[in-house]
Amino acid sequence: MAKSIFRSLSVILLATVVTACASNAEPSGTSNSATGGAPAAINSNIKDGTIPASDKSKNPKAALSRTDTFIVGLTSAPDGKYNPLLGAYWNQNVNELVFSSLVAIDKAGLPVPALADKWEISNDGLQYTFHLRPDLKFSDGSPLTAEDAAFSLTVLHDPTYDGPTDITQAYIKGGTEYKKGAATSIEGIKVIDPLTLQVQTTQSSALALRLIGGYVIPKAYYGPKYKKGDLLAFKELNAKPLGAGLYTFDKEVKGQEIRLVANQLYYKGKPQIQNWIYKIVNEATALQNLAAGEIDYIAFTTSNTDIADQLKLLSFVDVNTYTTNQFAYLDFNTKSPVLQDKNVRIALQYGLDRQKFVDILYQGYGEVGNHPVAPTSWAYPKDVKGAAFDAKKAKELLDQAGWKVGAGGIREKDGKKLTVRYLSRDSNFDKVLIPILKENYTDIGVDVQFETLDYNAVVAKRNKGEFELAYFFYSTNDPYDQLRTYYSKSPEVPEARKYTNEKVDQLIVQSTSILDQNKRLPLLKDLYQELTNDPPTFILAYYKVLSATNSRIKGIVPNTYQGIVNQIDSLNYKIDK
């Protein structure tokens, strides 16, 4: 059985400084064995856990006056794709609350019942049978049945589907034929009865459970807008999502807030806190918002001792630290003329002092990263070494690639300067990274041009291939979560920035066709070695997450795999009055 299923990140915020430092550049090993277990801690003396509020009497009046509302701070606004089949990135903060999936994950990253209270997998690993809980309802009162789950899987197979889920990796029988237009239905998806869904696959896959057991949307609501081969009308409902999650969508004030209301029909019981608000806050003033009681929760992917010290001064908040399965990385545009040569990409890795970056930014809350999987994962390849900072090695590689030092110290080739475009954001992450990057890359003869944009604009330019470097954060439950973006046949990666490596493709397919993690490990090790030899991304750092919750909010204890949304028990989650 697959060890974990896909869930997106918890609420991920960039507030004040980013990333963390470690005692050495090479991450320590893993602790998640094939049978599960707690994630490994980042190699530092910063301990995971919660420091409870020391003086709740200091709680601001602005917070105490909210007796039925929980406000979560976000420093980047979603782009309105409120449909879990279509939306990615920041939209998932909303989608995870409005929708539910057949299968969820527990705090160890293992699959647990959600809308489906049990499932069976045949001995050959090719047939999945899901048994839904009785009397499930969507938030509008309509019944949630196996027909809705089958419809959701069908949409993911649409020929024009361009969302974040690569359902082809589940190998559902007849799925390819439907996607290519050779069939009007998907042979392998069968509704046995209103509470039973059976899915037949053509080959074993470690990804099948999490893909088939994903989010369910109501056919009665979305079906009339669904037209095979044309999702435009279907996407019109993104602004008015309807699901079976903890909360229902109320309204959005663009660039300011998203309001959600408790779902009275939620299958685990109505949440005791009536209103959930995502408030868009300025990164530089996020701590002030928390101190003033204007928000109740915020998390920092750029955790460090400065932030920790400031949070401890807020005696009315509970401060939580946990080792995350996330990492920060620079995306390489391998289609760019200057980065098509892998030696140039490797040179850029050797040429950047990531340890200095991590030391300044994370101050003990992170470590230098090398692979697109966190050290918390059972799949982390501790024996595969990355490119440590070595300016001399970087210069040698650029020389070999034909880029010779020209006028002003900038390298040239065929009359063109070695210039890379970096898509930056007005963030503390870049305030630390950019000076180091400019200094280090100037030293090895690389000219860097910076363009500062907001998050959605960065994504848009990235998808058009109008960049050489851009930074992002990612999390992995299964290693495939990030590896899928390197698969040349992935439908979610635009052609303008698609990475192509036949060996990588082959190893991705092979490593995901096996259910046994111990048998997947050697294939994944070979895969991570090949990605080191021909890098599509430049992993910067692994880190811990610091979060703060107003102490009047009970039942919020963020963790590695569930974040805050997926670990909420609707019965224990409440406001202390």
Pick from 110-114, 411-415, 557-561: least confident: 557-561
Residue with tokens 């391998």: 334
SS3 74: strand
Q: What Cα–Cα distance (Å) separates residue 551 from each residue in 63, 274, 276, 311?
A: 10, 18, 16, 13
Residue 59 structure tokens: 């709680």
Q: CB-side exposure of 574: number of CA atoms within 13 Å?
A: 7
Pick from 183, 534, 181: nearest CA to 349: 534
Q: What is the DSSP letter of 450?
A: E
Tell which phi-psi region holds residue 383, choosing left (phi > 0), alpha (psi between -120 and 50) or beta: alpha
Write down the pLDDT at residue 44.
63
pLDDT tens, residue by residue, 441-453 = 999 999 999 999 9
SS3 553: strand
Report whether pLDDT(88) > 80: no
Write down the pLDDT at residue 337.
95
**Phi then psi for 318, rounded to 5 degrees?**
-90, 125
Mean pLDDT (the chain, rounded) = 88
Report whether pLDDT(510) > 50: yes
Contact between 342 and 537 under an 8 Å Cβ cutoff? The reply is: no
> Cα-atom radius of gyration of the chain, to the nearest Å?
24
| 577 band by pLDDT with thresholds 50, 70 and 90 | confident
Report whether pLDDT(280) > 90: yes
Of 12 and 134, the structure prediction assigns the larger pLDDT to 134
Write down the pLDDT at residue 42.
62
**Phi then psi for 529, rounded to 5 degrees?**
-65, -40
Mean pLDDT computed over 361-380: 91
| 43 band by pLDDT with thresholds 50, 70 and 90 | low
pLDDT tens, residue by residue, 172-205 = 999 999 999 999 999 999 999 999 999 999 999 9
pTM of the model: 0.78
Contact between 333 and 467 under an 8 Å Cβ cutoff? The reply is: yes
Write down the pLDDT at residue 557.
85
State how beta strands 127-132 and 116-121 pair.
Answer: antiparallel
Write down the pLDDT at residue 561.
75
Range(s) within the chain of domains with CATH label 3.10.105.10: 325-543
pLDDT tens, residue by residue, 92-101 = 889 999 999 9
Write down the pLDDT at residue 324.
85
Number of residues that this document lists for the chain? 577
Pick from 4, 20, 156, 7: nearest CA to 428: 20
Homologous superfamily (CATH) for 325-543:
Dipeptide-binding Protein; Domain 3 (3.10.105.10)
Helix, strand and coil percent figures for the chain, each rounded to 5: 30, 25, 45
SS3 86: coil
Write down the pLDDT at residue 457.
93
pLDDT tens, residue by residue, 340-369 = 999 999 999 999 999 999 999 998 899 999
| 425 band by pLDDT with thresholds 50, 70 and 90 | very high
Write down the pLDDT at residue 165.
87
How many Å separate Cα 299 from the centre of its chain?
A: 15
Strand partners for 258: 252, 278
| 477 band by pLDDT with thresholds 50, 70 and 90 | confident
Write down the pLDDT at residue 89.
63
| 69 band by pLDDT with thresholds 50, 70 and 90 | very high
Residue type, 3: K
Q: How far apart are CA 525 and CA 507, in angstroms?
A: 10
Write down the pLDDT at residue 533.
97
- 291 contacts: CB under 8 Å, gap ≥ 6: 60, 314
| 493 band by pLDDT with thresholds 50, 70 and 90 | confident
Strand partners for 252: 258
Whole-number percent of the chain with pLDDT over 70: 91
Q: What Cα–Cα distance (Å) separates residue 75 from each residue in 12, 284, 425?
A: 9, 9, 12
> Which of 5-14, 38-47, 397-406 shows the highest mean pLDDT?
397-406
DSSP states along 303-355: --HHHHHHHHH-TTEEEEEEEEEEEEEEEE-TTSTTTSSHHHHHHHHHTS-HH
Pick from 150-164, 438-452, 534-548, 554-568: least confident: 554-568
User: Residue 224: exposed, middle, or buried by beta-carbon count in 10 A (0-12, 13-18, 19+)?
Assistant: exposed
Of 74 and 396, the structure prediction assigns the larger pLDDT to 396
Report whether pLDDT(31) > 50: no
What sign does the CA torsion over 376, 379, 385, 391 have?
A: negative
Write down the pLDDT at residue 26.
25
Alpha-helix residue ranges (DSSP H) falling in 36-81: 61-64
Report whether pLDDT(19) > 60: no
Mean pLDDT computed over 31-56: 63
Report whether pLDDT(4) > 80: no
Q: How far apart are CA 408 and CA 91, in angstroms?
A: 45
Range(s) within the chain of domains with CATH label 3.40.190.10: 49-81+242-324+544-575
User: Starting from the edge strand earliest in sequence, which strands make up the sheet with 116-121, in order?
Assistant: 116-121, 127-132, 196-200, 189-193
| 300 band by pLDDT with thresholds 50, 70 and 90 | confident
Strand partners for 411: 405
Residue range 89-239 in CATH 3.60.21.10: no
Range(s) within the chain of domains with CATH label 3.90.76.10: 89-239
Q: 49-81+242-324+544-575 in CATH: which number?
A: 3.40.190.10
